[in-house]
Amino acid sequence: MQPLPYCETLLEGLATDGGLAVPVEFPSVDGETLERWRALTYPQLATEVLGLFATDIPREDLARMTAAAYEPFPEEVVPLRAIDGGLTLVGLSEGPTLAFKDMAMQFLGQVVEYALERTGSVLNVLGATSGDTGSAAEHALRGKERIAVFMLSPQGRMSTFQRAQMFSLDDANVHNIAVDGVFDDCQNLVKELAGDLDFKRAQHLGAVNSINLARITAQVVYYFWAWLRATDAGGWTELSFTVPSGNFGNILSGFYAKQMGLPIRRLVLAANENNVLDEFFRTGVYRPRSAAQTLATSSPSMDISKASNLERFVFELLDRDPERVVGAWRDLDAQGYVDLSAELARFEEEFGFVSGTSTHDDRLATIRAVHDATGDIIDPHTADGVKVAREHVESGVPMLVLETAKPEKFADTIREAIGVELEYSPELQAMLGAPQHVTELPDDAAALRAFIEEHALR
């Protein structure tokens, strides 16, 4: 298969063979370059980092798009703040939907429109969300003439705020679809339809969730930003990052940053009760759970038992050998698990991965402890990260935890943890009370095909 330019990969979503696209090679960033980047604003840094991947986009066009992407954010796009225990939170939830997904999705809203205008074509975005990806995508793409959004979500599995943030939109190009199932069922439907190349071509299907490589590259930027803000000029300080993880896209971006040369010591994966990934990084055995075994938890955006982005890590783990990856996934399909324990020592020694699990009681206790110590209120997913981060702190190695969302999105859990009723702005109150627009469908590919055929842009 011939490599595709960035813009073409962006519009394809999945690779043309139905797999996930990966960089042909990782660009290399040295210490001199890092020092040169210290003085840049976040949009300027995004232009530099993304420019290493998006070589088919003129630099002035890329700079214009990154400036537009981060214009809706406060002046300090990604603030860092210290909390108790020597941890530092990386604030990724300053965007319009109050979740880290905005960091990449606002850029994708710009670059997808740019790529479509260059080709004169349209795109019907098919995505799956466990809570935050959907609203971030819809808010980034709403009202765009060449784009329609078909966003699948698991019926009854998101928070009240998450549902309102998506379903209150009444833009003609946004189609919310509640599937009778869990997130993994939604994701399987997306991959089934995207893997049908005739249907994909006929309906101009694409994807903007984390199976899209452009999303991963846009998220790489904030790892560089955080490192530059947490270190002193002229030093080569190794940091560790803890990342609350569901579909493995957020932490994969950190892995890509490490592969590019950013001095990252450890990538600490924090799972909730659906801890398939924690089991994998502890044992080397990847055993996804069925829909019936996937628990509904108080960190719902991580209620995922089959992480699609893990395939990209396995590609690197198996020395970029496509045949070995195909063989591993064939084993997964045949027996329900894949055993990569022969490579287990490399997980931490070569790639820096360690992991841990947080439960409902853990996240309540962590939210309470952080609030008591600092007055800060953190959301349940970030609390999972803080809990696991504390288990992996090393002397002399700063530990940064990626904040994934604002607590307002999960008011019930905050109330349970610290007894605080969160205040909402008039705009958010109006959103919560607005009529909701959603279509309910069974977990059935034929029903989804028919809906897309009826509503897709041509």
What pLDDT digit, counting tens, does each position of 273-326 carry?
A: 999 999 999 999 999 999 889 999 999 999 999 998 999 999 999 999 999 999
Residue type, 384: D
Spatial CA neighbour of 112 closest among 172, 65, 45: 65
Distance linking the first and last C-alpha atoms of the chain: 28
Q: Which of these is catalytic: 101, 191, 200, 258?
A: 101
Q: What is the pLDDT of residue 279?
A: 98
Residue type, 297: T
Q: What is the pLDDT of residue 18?
A: 67
Radius of gyration of the chain measured on its C-alpha atoms? 21
Residue type, 401: V
Length in residues, the chain: 458
Q: What is the pLDDT of residue 39?
A: 95
Q: Contact at 8 Å (CB) between 223 and 253?
A: yes
Continuous segment of H or E residues that includes residue 169 = none
Strand partners, 405: 99
Q: What is the pLDDT of residue 1?
A: 63
Per DSSP, helices labelled H in 284-359 are 310-317, 322-335, 344-349
d(CA 207, CA 13): 5
Characterize 408-425 residue by residue with b for buried, 16 or more Cβ atoms within 10 angstroms of its Cβ, and e for exposed.
bbbbebbebbbeeeeeee
CB-based contacts of 399, cutoff 8 Å, min separation 6: 86, 87, 88, 239, 240, 241, 242, 268, 389, 392, 393
Distances (CA, A) of 307 to 241, 282, 439: 19, 16, 26
Q: What is the pLDDT of residue 93?
A: 96
DSSP per position, 202-263: HTTEE--STTSHHHHHHHHHHHHHHHHHHS-TT----EEEEEE-SSSHHHHHHHHHHHTT--
Spatial CA neighbour of 247 closest among 219, 206, 284: 219
Residue type, 27: P
At 319, list the tokens.
Answer: 């020395």
Q: pTM of the predicted model, to two decimals?
A: 0.92
Q: Is 306 a catalytic residue?
A: no
Q: Which domains does the chain have, with CATH numbers?
A: 80-98+220-418 (3.40.50.1100)
d(CA 152, CA 440): 10
φ/ψ of residue 6, rounded to 5: -55, -50
Q: What is the pLDDT of residue 109?
A: 92
d(CA 189, CA 446): 10
The residues of the chain scoring below 50 in pLDDT are: none
d(CA 456, CA 205): 9
Neighbours of 62 (CB within 10 A): 22
